[in-house]
Amino acid sequence: MCGRFVLFTTGESLLRATAELIDDPTRPTRAPHGAPPPRYNIAPTNVIPIVRFLAEETLLEPARWGLLPHWKKDLTGAPLFNARAETIAEKPSFRDAYKRGRCVIPLDGYYEWHEKKPYFVRPADGGMLWAAGLWATGLDQLSATMVTTDSVAPLDWLHHRLPRFLTREEVAPWLTGATDLLHPSPAHLVSSLVTSPADPAVGNVRNDYPELISDQVS
């Protein structure tokens, strides 16, 4: 599961990281609405950046975190911010987006709770993470959800679910409809992540400032 995350890589740095990730000179990368500001406690229903292929371009665009299927009539109900990989091909809330609405969600790290204590998870090398996602445009609003799988070692102690983080080689296949990527993230990728206790202040979504993670990324 992932219900809070961090993205402080912004502006030209995020656009450049996206272009380097896709690494396709025939497909220009654009952020038509600009890059987002740095965020340190992103929660469901917040606006997040997503990466998707549209026509011959790679777009970095703002989307509501919480999928709004095309048949959604209003914003009632719990936000669909996570989608279980095991059921997205059949579940009505996700199956159309799985077929036609793939995206990738950039993040610098995420928070997870274990025994009521928050932890911050991030790449040990200071790099970025790219999570598999789905997008839709119900209620005339671009929205997205993050795909999760069973957790794997060495993070299985933290939570039984884990975002489906993609390797660089998996990103383009995911965005173009590959159906063989619904397994947990590769072991070498998960093993490259480090976990540290997080500031309990992250429990309040109104707390969104660099000091929440300053000890972990300094």
pLDDT tens digits for range 119-149? 999 999 999 999 999 999 999 999 999 999 9
Domains of the chain with CATH codes: 4-217 (3.90.1680.10)
What is the per-residue pLDDT for 216?
Answer: 65
pTM (predicted TM-score): 0.96
At 173-191, the pLDDT tens digits run 999 999 999 999 999 999 9
Active-site residue set = 2, 112
SS (H, E, C) 65-133: ECECCCCCCCCCCCCECEEECCCCCCCCCCHHHHHHCEEEEEECEEEEEECCEEEEEEECCCCCEEEEE
